[in-house]
Amino acid sequence: MPAFRETYRGSVAAWECDQYGHYNVQFYVGRISDAVASLLHAGGLGRIGLEQRRLGIVAVNQNIDYLRELRAGSVIRMESAIKAVEGRKLVLHHRLFDAESGELAMRADVLGLCFDLEARKSVPLPDDLRQGFAGLLLSGNEALVQQALPEAEPGWMISHRSPVNAWECDRMGHLNVQFYLARAADADRHVFTALGLGPRALAALGLGLRPQRYRIQFRRELHNAAITVMRSAIRSADAEGVTLLHELHDFETGVLSAVVEARLTVEELSSGRQAALPAAAQRLAEPWVAVFPGGPPLPPAGSPPPPQSLRAGMYETCRGGVDQWECDENGRMATRFYMARFSSAAMNVFVAADFDTSRMREAGLGSAALDYIIDIKQMMRVGQAFHCQTGVLELRDKTWRFGHLLLDSNSGETLATAEVVAVFFDLKTRKAITMPEPVRAGFTRHLLPPA
């Protein structure tokens, strides 16, 4: 088995680029940090081992060579291995590639020390870890090309890989919904790259990706330091667009955390009009569609359907504007931030039930989305003012369903909609509970009447 392992797969966000128009150095280091989680797992020190052993690897020196610039929207992947392991020292070697061209963009050597998280000092590597990392040692003559392209089951391609960082977790202590969508958006880019429509190819055609719908079902929580891996399959592809299935897994446990159905097309950047998916991309998709490994599309989330325009009984849950740093390389609000708006709105949903976050905290309760359907009607741009209106659609024993409308605050036009199934859960047991009666009574007063 080769020493290298794939340790990161994602993309360059526009807000990570500097005044020179390319990936800023701080974010290369961030990707190195992300890659370490997967490399340590390969050597035997994954998240579970870290929690049980209370050992980590801390960097004391880094040497980085920047070889090719990366621009906003670039799809990237990291491969990592070990250069030396001795005593308490470990030398980690990382290579960052442009996934569209295959070019090496950066290489880095990092000197790390085994660190006791209780004593807060360096200690010798335990024998089993030293042996585990020895299995990842480089011979010293490896070519500067991609060597660890991951294999997947028939019909699937690996489309994203990264750890859960602490700042991606919300007040409930788990990965916030917007970062599930961020991972799905990265996966979209890697799938389109496999279809010959990477960022440079799209730019040459004057096209951009145009997300239309995401359906996310959340199956298991993800917490800080978990390694997430997404695999993707292509359900259909024609001139009108592409339908994808993404599965997000906890790499260490193998547990399926979320299932994402995505529908995307391409648009002319000059006009914003939908364009036909290039015939070459359709042909490249055909073998994937022929062996699509997934089942039928997910059924509707419930009835009645969510409103598509403002209705009596809805109430405001969020208001703001689009900032420059939230936009992608084409000046449109990045996919992740549609979910961020709805996540912010969800914090205010309980206003209708007279049960605010402080009362939830006192009761030791939390809430979590189980199912999200987002339809993007218009691509938003910097400076665009918006507000969100919410209505309660359906009350069940442990779950309830509500709908959001994201509206242009000037024109009143619908920019995006969301349909959400959510649940109450006990923050200690992390298990779903029956909806408290005061909350049910409050929500009942705000149920939207039939259309």
Q: Do domains 152-299 and 312-451 have the same CATH topology?
A: yes
Residue 109, H or E segment: strand 104-116
Contact 450, 304 (CB under 8 A): yes
Superfamily, domain 312-451: Hotdog Thioesterase (3.10.129.10)
Amino acid occupying residue 153: E
Give the pLDDT of residue 441: 87
Superfamily, domain 5-134: Hotdog Thioesterase (3.10.129.10)
Give the pLDDT of residue 431: 85
Would you list the domain boundaries of the chain?
5-134, 152-299, 312-451
CB burial string 82-97: b at 16+ within 10 A, e below: bbebeebbbbbbbbbb
Q: How far apart are CA 402 and CA 418, in angstroms?
A: 8
- Residue 333 is classified by DSSP as B
Report domain 152-299's class. Answer: alpha beta
Which residue, 297, 437, 418, 436, is CA-closest to 369?
A: 418
pLDDT averaged per 10 residues, the chain (length 451): 92 97 97 97 92 94 98 98 97 98 98 96 96 94 91 95 96 92 98 98 97 97 96 98 98 97 97 97 98 96 93 94 96 96 90 74 82 97 97 92 97 97 87 86 87 73
- Residue 353 is classified by DSSP as G
Helices 127-134 and 25-43 pack at an angle, to 10 degrees, of 110
Q: How far apart are CA 354 and CA 287, in angstroms?
A: 53
Give the pLDDT of residue 1: 63
Give the pLDDT of residue 244: 98
What token pair was written down for 309? 């325009």
